Amino acid sequence: MSSPFASSALFKPIRVGNQQLDHRIVLCPLNRRRCDNEYAPTDSMIEYYRQRATPNALVIMEATMISADAGAYPHAPGIYSTHQIQQWRKVTDAVHEKPGATAFLQIRHAGRASTTQFLPGAHPRLVSASAVPVPGKNELGNDYEIPQELTVDEINKIVNDFSRAARNAVEEAGFDGVEIHGANGYLIDQFINTSCNKRADAYGGSIEHRSRFCLQVVDAVVAAIGVEKTAIRFSPWSEFLGMEDATPYETWSYLVSQLEQQHPNMAYIHFIEPRDDFSRKTKNDTQNSLDPFRKLWSGPFISAGGYTTKPELAAQVADSTNNLIAFGRSFIANPDLVERLKHNWPLNKYNRETFYKGGDTGYIDYPFYESTTARGSQKLE
């Protein structure tokens, strides 16, 4: 059957860093909690990413902790131990079986979003930009803990941890680059947003001060692995984990302008759309737009959020902006999403109940189209 996607910019080549891509469909960083008890990738994860890699395409792998005290989640990955690095190398080798496939690893510090129960040592410290807890309950059903405000020396140590994690990823684990996690309410985002950052020093108050930590991390990672292998993700309107900023356009315009001035050859910047329908309480936000940030950035720009329920929108956005488009939930359920969109084949439905459940069900058992009979289009939920 003919496809409305095949002739769109989605299937036009683009260069990202030092990698040439054949199309602009990107696997979103999706943490599925399938690691072993040492926070290292498993054989199932190797297969999961092998399935979703395509020749000359970009795969962004899930949020990965930069150090043991960066805030852990059960069965979520790290990139700081020898075992973790060795297992990640098996994942990148599997992805690179597809000629020209490009693997980036998203690296993060969770900050206040974690809990001391998941941190090492006899006296674990939950930290953030300020001593402001996440509102509501954590995944254990308890109130989020009040974090300790980071000192300047501790901030500098974390900057170095990001640098070390980037080197581990690229030099040891075989990744083609890293995406710094500056979104979704984790530590970098905690410094950026006014709802969380109440500091009165050089890291708080003005937009320039609240952006300082983020830009220092970018500088350190660029110095460690090279600008063409460095990327970052932002979410100006994310309400996840209590995030809110008083001036999102001004704040992220400043960040993008600084990146454009200091590191215009970064691999890409990655923004979450305001209409994202997964992590926001505000649904179908069409009042806000990423366009002001797109205009400030001369390099590759990835947008994500809301494309699973409206895949036709991906072609429209790619055609009008030349963006790369990151898919999440539809890529979970369709390891061959690229071919399905290219040929207008029907999509598998995803099962939300298996997103973080563990095991292979709902992870590596979704069928490829060519292994099934055509069953007609299915509604995405």
The predicted model gives 158-179 an average pLDDT of 98
pLDDT at 256 over 80: yes
Among residues of the chain, what percentage have pLDDT more than 90? Answer: 86
The predicted model gives 314-333 an average pLDDT of 96
pLDDT at 253 over 80: yes
List, in order, residues 6 or more apart from 106 with CB less than 8 Å away: 29, 60, 61, 62, 63, 64, 178, 179, 180, 181, 233
Domain with 287 in it: 9-371
pLDDT of residue 22: 97
Following DSSP, what letter does each residue of 247-265 receive, concatenated?
A: -HHHHHHHHHHHHHHH-TT
Round to whole Å and give the CA distance between 159 and 163.
6
Domain-located, residue 379: no
CB 95 within 8 A of CB 169: no
Please tell me the total count of domains within the chain.
Answer: 1
Domain-located, residue 160: yes
Following DSSP, what letter does each residue of 119-172 receive, concatenated?
A: S-SSS---EESSS-PPSSB-TTSSBPPPPEEPPHHHHHHHHHHHHHHHHIIIII
pLDDT of residue 380: 42
Domain-located, residue 168: yes
**241 backbone dihedrals φ, ψ, rounded to 5°:** 60, 35
Q: What's the pLDDT tens digit per position in 265-276?
A: 999 999 999 986
pLDDT of residue 350: 95
pLDDT of residue 2: 62
Round to whole Å and give the CA distance between 7 and 375.
24
pLDDT of residue 379: 41
H or E segment at 181? Answer: strand 177-181
The predicted model gives 249-261 an average pLDDT of 98
Q: Other C-beta atoms within 10 Å of 106: how many?
A: 24
pLDDT of residue 376: 47
Buried (b) or exposed (e) across 193-221, using 16+ Cβ within 10 A?
A: bbbbbebeeebbeebebbbbbbbbbbebb
Round to whole Å and give the CA distance between 98 and 96.
5
pLDDT of residue 372: 58
Following DSSP, what letter does each residue of 264-306 receive, concatenated?
A: TT-SEEEEE-TT-SSS-SS-S--S--SHHHHHH--S-EEEESS
Q: What's the pLDDT tens digit per position in 216-249?
A: 999 999 999 999 999 999 999 989 999 999 999 9
The predicted model gives 111-124 an average pLDDT of 89
**16 backbone dihedrals φ, ψ, rounded to 5°:** -120, 110
pLDDT at 86 over 50: yes
Q: Give the global pTM.
A: 0.95
Find the CATH number of the domain harbouring 201. Answer: 3.20.20.70
Domain-located, residue 118: yes
Q: What's the pLDDT tens digit per position in 39-74?
A: 999 999 999 999 999 999 999 999 999 999 998 789
By annotation, the residues acting in catalysis are 186
pLDDT at 328 over 80: yes
pLDDT at 375 over 60: no
Round to whole Å and give the CA distance between 361 and 115.
28
pLDDT of residue 371: 59
Domain-located, residue 380: no
Domain-located, residue 4: no
Domain-located, residue 294: yes
pLDDT band at 285 (very low <50, low <70, confident <90, very high): confident
pLDDT at 282 over 50: yes
Domain-located, residue 244: yes
